[in-house]
A and B are shown apart, each in its own frame.
Chain A
Amino acid sequence: EVQLVESGGGLVQPGGSLRLSCTASGFTFSNYWMNWVRQAPGKGLEWVANIKQDGSEKDYVDSVKGRFTISRDNAKNSLYLQMNSLRAEDTAVYFCATLGGVWSGFDYWGQGTLVTVSS
């Protein structure tokens, strides 16, 4: 059974940092592009970042470029999101998700971890 389990969320002050983790099981993690998608309270989905199977390619939504860094450790079946210079508008549930294949969309999602940026 495919499982994606996020962790690392919590309350952080504006300007602070947080590192999210996503631990994968039930599939060959190193074969998949991985993504972070977030959802602000009561709002819609927003794609945040993605990373290629070997970590050689990464991309970000404009609003987090220069502040967030996506990375992965295939030996640990883990995906990460380092979030620096956090703002109130970064408050959201952060989901990790697998890209099912070329143009196939996100086929597996974790349960999400809540990040709250507030003083």
Chain B
Amino acid sequence: SFELIQPPSVSVSPGQTASITCSGDQLEHKYVCWYQQKPGQSPVRVIYQDDRRPSGIPERFSGSNSGNTACLTISETQAMDEADYYCQAWDGSTVVFGGGTKLTVL
């Protein structure tokens, strides 16, 4: 079955760039979305269709998808960006989430 693999954790210093990867077989042929989830809150979509940013999401959030890897990039990372991040794609008509990455801003 189709799987999406994310690193369990990523650390970044404030003001630096954070990159979170999501790997899956021939992922470039699928659209990828990314979600941010803070403790005790519902997920928030931050990227859709690989690289599109919903209204209200800061420009420092960007996405890419090539080969077998999609990437969420957060530029000029702020303390408020500390959260769990999940990638998501479709496998036919079903939905698959990655295991999630905890972003720590230290």
Which of B42, B48, B86, B94 lies in contact with A59, CB distance below 8 A? B94
Instruction: Say what secondary structure dominates the interface of chain B.
Output: strand
**Chain A contact patch, size range:** 20 to 34
Q: Which residues of A contact B48 (CB under 8 A)?
A: 100, 103-105, 107
Q: Which residues of B contact A35 (CB under 8 A)?
A: 95
Comparing A8-16, A23-31, A41-49, A82-90, the segment that makes contact with chain B is A41-49
A15 to B97 CA separation, bound complex (whole angstroms): 27
A62 to B86 CA separation, bound complex (whole angstroms): 20
Which of A59, A60, A95, A106 has the most chain B CB within a 10 Å cutoff? A106
**Interchain CB contact under 8 A, A105 and B86:** no
Q: Which residues of B contact A95 (CB under 8 A)?
A: 42-43
B17: interface (CB < 8 Å): no
**Interchain CB contact under 8 A, B54 and A106:** no
Which of A60, A61, A109, A112 has the most chain B CB within a 10 Å cutoff? A109
Given A95-B43, A103-B31, 12 new contacts (CB under 8 A) = A45-B86, A47-B97, A62-B1, A103-B48, A103-B49, A105-B33, A105-B45, A105-B49, A105-B88, A106-B35, A106-B88, A111-B42
Q: Which residues of B contact A (CB under 8 A)?
A: 1, 31, 33, 35, 37, 42-45, 48-49, 54, 84, 86, 88, 90, 93-100
Closest 5 CB pairs of A and B: A105-B33, A47-B95, A103-B31, A109-B42, A44-B100
